[in-house]
Structure 1
């Protein structure tokens, strides 16, 4: 799930400066990891964490550094402005300028994974137009006061889709591109085929009237995670998260950058003269790998009748192999993206179908050039769970720091935390300081669900983030947080 386009930072000023500083941080961090320096828990960043109660509800949900506070809102089950209960499974999100002074507008995904037509935590406005009448997922839009946690407006903005995991901001911040992390269809009981990207305009939907967005089929039918738009070209870069098998990194070249529905060309990244290059292990930080792109001839394959998947098509033409690509962000003329389970340090899970054993995560950078090719660079690879365990979202802050959202994906490697007793796998927001050392910024102390949807308000004062909650039931609930504090005291 996270990238800055995906998480809303491109709605702020100063993104290019932040990207440059953040890249320096990642490079320093890589050098630190290679040198094998010890991890000084709680001694960097903003100092030690402590359990903190929410300013507006009094609940003790997060651990944060001294001086930071938070409000919580938009929890599963809470009534919304359109009369519908807030759905389950809070995931990818972006932040925009609100319609009132001092407010922020959020567009939030719901990765609902229940069966066709299931009523449990469903994203649904009865009687509204939607792509699939049996769809259970989609997006909600919120207008919030970040200081008080007051929700001025909260409604379903897209329904009729399934497994809406992450996405990215549309060109020029016009809205949100929401992605389905699945390729299910009629054979799995759905009315329509799924595995697509959809547009959710910033201002179009309103309470009781969600947008009836058609799928952007030319952008590919595969297990989408996140996207990032290059504002210079309008190209949309797409990550794929299909567990247990090699994944691809894609590029969509639209015929009209202002109208993605007009179609275009879908391509997969390939390393020049190295067909089938495996990026998942054995990589060297800072090595520059020259890139070319191979065309996906059938971006909307008829999977129900045995057509080759987009991934199979790309790999057959020599596309590079990645493992669980998630967060994706544009900045400083480059695309940054996470491989949640890439790397040489292994997390102990059972091997994938092709024998690859998953690692603790990688951060990649694709640098395009004027010829449309460019180079691929491994910026950072986690040496172990204490430093970083399964990075999902990658967010650059207005002050040039970096926040990584963890989605601890390992069943074998327990990851307890002293601030969250009783939980075996604890998820955190991890920051990277200017010296390259990782530090904990936040810990989910109320349940074991992942952090998702991290994004800063346009004025840089507030970090919004979600905890996912359950993707199939009402407990634990999904929640949205607004975190405020002395940002300038540290690297974020």
Structure 2
């Protein structure tokens, strides 16, 4: 199937999807270059090294692989590379902060480091890479350890990383010595400035990603719950909305979104469907001492749930969040292969702006969007987390989808191949490099080329 046919589809098919995409989120791309001509950068070229296929004119550097020695001497590069962010450094350099979605069964856990370890029994956390302006690695170290199942997160306007635990395990479960399910702040330059203190007021649940409103200081959070009742979309109103490193420790109010009359977002399938008067309801027990938040009593009107809430980012004057898929067979009100929603806080309006899929050929992209970032030439870069071969794919402002990268690392067998998902796509501040992770085997790439073409 051609890239132009692999479009985001409305309920009745591809017709009009591009128009709906462009009209719905045009503000997201303000200030970026428009994409011209055909979608994408051409066909993917097979990599003779068998790592990463890219279009002609693009090249990659392997920055780090699991099992190698950390430059700091603290131990091995951990497994399961996931969410990531890039921050500007000195003399054109870049600081990367990389999540490791490690459970207690992880092959290589994040090494424990004094002053940076929350729970010595947990194997998750973050590592930080320092790069020069040519993407040469000049430093690699532990940024936080002793956390669990660090999936995604989000950058702050004050240039720190919020890493999220996608678990609700309490102390005494799976050998943990402390409760988990929190957000932690990580300084990419000097992690000891932020330490390993959970931001408890931001809630204890199966966190996925966050996005910060740079003007109001509100933090939006997604919950990737696996079973019904599914996750919620939250906002955190900090006591110190002016922000700054450590400001979130001062506490605040955690609220869950209620869309009147819509108990499950998967019931909405029409691109452009919009709902005014969105309400926010205080969470009764943010620490979920006895009951997980999504099971708590929010009153007779309840709150709005959605399956597989994952990516979350701020663009223009709105927050965008992803539902990777929904399946009636698993309890959702409707079926879909991926949605992106926009919430405009000024208008209290929620709008369905993108619908993905269905996947008609698992060798091509088109389902289960996960981590998402803005692309330099306009549009999005999306990490695919579905079946078969895994891609990073781009989405133009017209709605066309094209393959940008393909993972060639087979972690299965020749007869039954399997490929790890992509995660953590992020661009350097100058937009000349895309950094992206292969989840397994844990590999971090820097991809350069004619991004502005």
> How high is the TM-score relative to the length of structure 1?
0.78
Q: Partner residue of 1:191?
A: 177
**Pairwise mapping of residues 84-123 of structure 1 onto structure 2 (< 5 A)?**
84-99=75-90, 101-115=91-105, 120-123=107-110
Over 3 Å counting, the alpha-carbon distance change for 1:146 and 1:225 in structure 2 is: farther
In the TM superposition, what whole-angstrom CA distance separates every residue of 1:195-218 from its partner, at most 9, and x where no partner exists?
00001113322xxx6953211111
Paired residue for 1:251? Answer: 235
Cα distance per residue 1:302-338 (max 9 Å; x no partner): 1xxxx22111226655211111111101011000111
**What is the match of residue 311 of structure 2?**
327
Paired position in structure 1 for 2:3: none
**Contact residue 341 and residue 350 of structure 2 kept, 8 A:** yes
| Residue of structure 2 aligned with 1:401, choices 364, 375, 379 | 379
Once the two structures are superposed, the pairs formed by residues 443-458 of structure 1 within 5 Å of their partners are 443-447=406-410, 448-458=419-429
C-alpha distance in 1 between matches for 2:439 and 2:12: 29
- Residues 32 and 311 (structure 1), Cα distance of their counterparts in 2 relative to 1, 3 Å cut: closer
- Listed one character per residue, the Cα deviations across residues 170-206 of structure 1 (whole Å, up to 9, x for unaligned) are 2332x1000000001224121000000001113322x
Q: How many residues matched?
A: 408
- Residues 1:131 and 2:126 are matched in the alignment: no
Query: 1:462 — aligned with what?
Result: 433
Aligned twin of 2:451:
487
- Partner-residue secondary structure (3-state), 1:248: strand
Tell me, yes or no, if structure 1 residue 359 matches structure 2 residue 336: yes
**Counterpart position of 1:15:** none
- Give ranges in structure 2 of 5+ residues lacking alignment: 1-6, 19-37, 411-418
Counterpart contact for 1:403–1:432, Cα < 8 Å? yes
Distance 2:291 2:283 in 1: 10
Question: Residue 338 in 1 paired to residue 361 in 2?
Answer: no
Q: TM-score, normalised by structure 2?
A: 0.84
2:407 and 2:193 mapped to 1: Cα distance?
A: 32
What's 2:391 paired with? 428
> What are the superposed Cα offsets for residues 200-237 of structure 1, whole Å, 9 maximum, x if unpaired?
113322xxx69532111110100000000001110000
* Residue correspondence of structure 1 range 359-378 to structure 2 within 5 A: 359-369=336-346, 374-378=348-352
CA 351–218 in structure 1, closer or farther in 2 if over 3 Å, else same: same
Question: Residues 329-384 of structure 1, C-alpha deviation per residue, up to 9 Å, x if partnerless?
Answer: 10110001110113xxx6xxx922x3657531111111111xxx611111111231
Q: Secondary structure at the match of 1:45?
A: coil
What RMSD in Å do the two structures reach over aligned CA positions? Answer: 2.5
Return closer, same or farther for 1:110/1:240 CA change in 2, 3 Å cut-off: same
Q: Indicate the residue corresponding to 2:208 in structure 1.
A: 225
Equivalent residue in structure 2 for 1:214, among 180, 185, 197: 197
Tell me the secondary structure at the aligned position of residue 189 of structure 2. Answer: coil
8 Å contact from structure 1 (residues 94, 169) kept in 2: yes
Q: Deviations over 1:272-305 (max 9, x none)?
A: 3x1x521113422111112111110210021xxx
Within 1, Cα distance between the matches of 2:266 and 2:163? Answer: 26
What residue number does 1:17 align with? Answer: none
1:384 aligns with 2:358: yes
